[in-house]
C-alpha cells in the first residue's frame, strides 16, 4: 500500500506533486459520467466538449492557441513527439542543446539520425551562457535549438525569451522542455518565440499520466499512433478524458494561484534556510522558489536521504527519473561542481500543501542528521 501523504512530510513535489483537491474532485466527477469523445450521441458530445474545454485551459496557461495543443501520456511522450517531428522537418545539421537537459531530451537527441548534437555551456548557477549560444548560432548548419525552461534538479531558470529571440532572428525552430516550469514560472509560446514545448500534469497539481505538447502553427506534429482519428488523426486511441479534465483544471488553477503559490514557496524556502543555517549548506543555483538544491560537502546523499526517510521526511537525491542510477548528476557536473559536492547534494521541492511547521520540522531533522553523519565522516571532519 502507498504511504498516506498526510502521514509524512513530503518535500519531493518536483518528482510528483499530489493532485490538487479540486483536480481530484473533477476527475471523480468525470469518471462518474459515460461517454467517448468520438461518439455522436449526447454523452459523447459532452465528453468532446470537456476535452476541448481542457485544451483551451492548457493553451491559456502556455500562451498558445487551443488548436496547437495535443494531449499525451506525459512529458516524456510530448518531448519525444516534438523532437522527432522537428528533427524530421529540417535538413541534416547541428542541433544545439544544453548539458543540463533531462535525459528525456538528451537521450532522444542522441538517438536522432542525420544530425549532430552540440551542447552550449552553462555557468555555475546553471544558467545558459548566452554569448556561447550566440557564437554557436553563427554556424551555417544549425537546424534546431532545444533547451529546458527550468532545471529539474536545481530549479535554475534558463533564459527562454532571449534564446527564443536569437532563434527567431535566424528562423531556427526552438523547443522547450517546460515540464518543471509549467505552473511555476510564466511560459508564453508566442512571446518567447517557442516553436514547440512539452508539459507534464503531475508536476503542478494535475494527475499522473497526463501531459501536453504545444506545437505552433503552421507546424503540426507528425502522426505518432495510427488507427483512429483522435487528436486530429495524429495520436490514435481513446483519450484519457478524466486525466485530461484534471490537467486542464490544474492549468487554470495554476494561472489563478501562481502569485499565491510563489509567495508561499518563497516563505517556505526562507524558513527552511534559516533553520539549517548552522549547517552552512551550499545552495546550488538560484531559480524558482519551489526547488531547493542543497549541498553538504563530504557527506553521502544516500545516507542523508535514508536518515530523513526514517524520520518520515521525503526528499530526493536529484532527478527522480535517475533513482537507483549510480552515475553522478550530469547537471551539477556541468555547473562545475566537484565529485565530493555532487555526492553531498539533495533536492527539496515544495507544493501548495506544505506548511511552515513542516519546514521547521524538516530543518530540525536535517540538522540532527547532518550533525550525526558529519561526526561519522572522515572527509567532512577535515573541512
The residues, any chain, with a CB within 8 Å of residue 49's CB and separated by 6 or more, are none
Print burial letters for 337-365: b (CB count within 10 Å at least 16), e (below 16): beeebbbbbbbbbbbbbbeeebbebbbeb
Q: How far apart are alpha carbons 380 and 117 in whole angstroms? A: 39
Q: How many CA atoms lie within 13 A of 307 on its CB side?
A: 19
Q: State yes or no: is 167 an active-site residue.
A: no
- Which of these, 162, 168, 174, lies nearest to 132 by C-alpha position? 162
Secondary structure E strands in 171-227: 174-177, 196-200, 211-215
Residue 209 zone, left/alpha/beta (φ > 0; ψ -120 to 50; rest)? left
**Contact at 8 Å (CB) between 143 and 172?**
yes
Nearest 5°: CA angle at 95, between 92 and 98? 170
**Contact at 8 Å (CB) between 357 and 24?**
no
Any idea what DSSP says for residue 8?
A: S
Q: Which three cell numbers stand for residue 107?
A: 537521450
**Contact at 8 Å (CB) between 287 and 150?**
yes
Any idea which residue has 547541428 for its cell?
A: 94
Strand order in the sheet with 94-97: 69-72, 211-215, 196-200, 174-177, 142-148, 94-97, 116-119
Catalytic residue among 3, 30, 167, 321: 321
Q: How far apart are alpha carbons 198 and 212 in whole angstroms? A: 6
**Contact at 8 Å (CB) between 176 and 188?**
no
Q: How far apart are alpha carbons 288 and 292 in whole angstroms? A: 8
Q: Give me the active site residues, please.
A: 321
Amino acid at each position: 500500500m502507498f504511504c498516506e501523504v498526510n502521514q509524512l512530510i513530503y518535500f519531493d513535489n518536483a518528482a510528483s506533486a499530489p493532485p490538487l483537491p479540486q483536480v481530484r474532485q473533477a476527475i471523480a466527477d468525470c469518471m462518474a459520467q459515460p461517454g467517448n469523445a468520438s461518439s455522436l450521441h449526447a454523452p459523447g458530445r459532452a465528453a468532446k466538449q470537456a476535452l476541448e474545454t481542457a485544451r483551451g485551459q492548457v493553451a491559456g496557461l502556455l500562451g498558445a492557441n487551443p488548436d496547437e495543443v495535443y494531449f499525451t501520456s506525459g512529458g516524456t511522450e510530448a518531448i519525444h513527439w516534438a523532437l522527432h517531428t522537428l528533427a524530421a522537418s529540417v535538413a541534416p545539421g547541428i542541433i544545439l542543446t544544453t548539458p543540463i537537459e533531462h535525459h528525456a531530451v538528451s537521450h532522444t537527441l542522441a538517438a536522432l539520425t542525420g544530425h549532430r548534437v552540440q551542447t552550449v555551456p552553462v555557468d555555475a548557477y546553471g544558467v545558459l551562457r548566452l554569448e556561447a549560444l550566440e557564437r554557436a548560432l553563427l554556424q551555417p548548419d544549425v537546424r534546431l535549438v532545444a533547451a529546458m525552461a527550468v532545471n529539474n534538479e536545481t530549479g535554475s531558470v534558463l533564459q527562454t525569451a532571449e534564446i527564443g529571440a536569437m532563434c527567431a532572428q535566424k528562423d531556427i525552430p526552438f523547443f522547450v522542455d517546460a515540464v518543471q516550469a509549467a505552473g511555476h514560472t510564466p511560459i508564453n509560446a508566442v512571446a518567447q518565440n517557442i516553436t514547440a514545448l512539452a508539459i507534464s500534469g503531475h508536476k503542478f497539481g494535475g494527475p499522473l499520466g497526463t501531459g501536453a505538447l504545444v506545437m505552433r502553427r503552421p507546424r503540426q506534429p507528425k502522426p505518432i499512433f495510427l488507427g483512429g482519428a483522435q487528436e486530429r488523426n495524429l495520436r490514435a486511441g481513446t483519450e484519457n478524458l478524466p486525466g485530461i479534465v484534471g490537467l486542464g483544471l490544474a492549468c487554470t488553477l495554476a494561472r489563478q494561484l501562481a502569485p499565491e503559490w510563489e509567495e508561499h514557496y518563497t516563505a517556505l524556502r526562507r524558513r527552511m534556510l534559516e533553520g539549517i543555517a548552522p549547517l552552512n549548506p551550499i545552495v546550488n543555483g538560484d531559480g524558482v522558489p519551489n526547488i531547493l538544491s542543497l549541498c553538504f560537502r563530504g557527506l553521502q546523499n544516500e545516507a542523508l536521504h535514508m536518515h530523513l526517510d526514517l524520520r518520515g521526511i521525503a526528499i530526493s537525491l536529484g532527478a527522480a527519473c535517475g533513482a537507483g542510477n549510480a552515475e553522478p548528476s550530469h547537471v551539477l557536473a556541468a555547473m562545475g561542481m566537484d565529485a565530493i559536492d555532487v555526492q553531498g547534494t539533495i533536492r527539496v521541492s515544495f507544493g501548495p500543501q506544505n506548511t511552515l511547521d513542516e519546514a521547521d520540522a524538516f530543518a530540525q531533522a536535517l540538522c540532527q542528521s547532518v550533525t550525526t553523519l558529519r561526526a561519522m565522516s572522515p572527509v567532512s571532519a577535515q573541512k
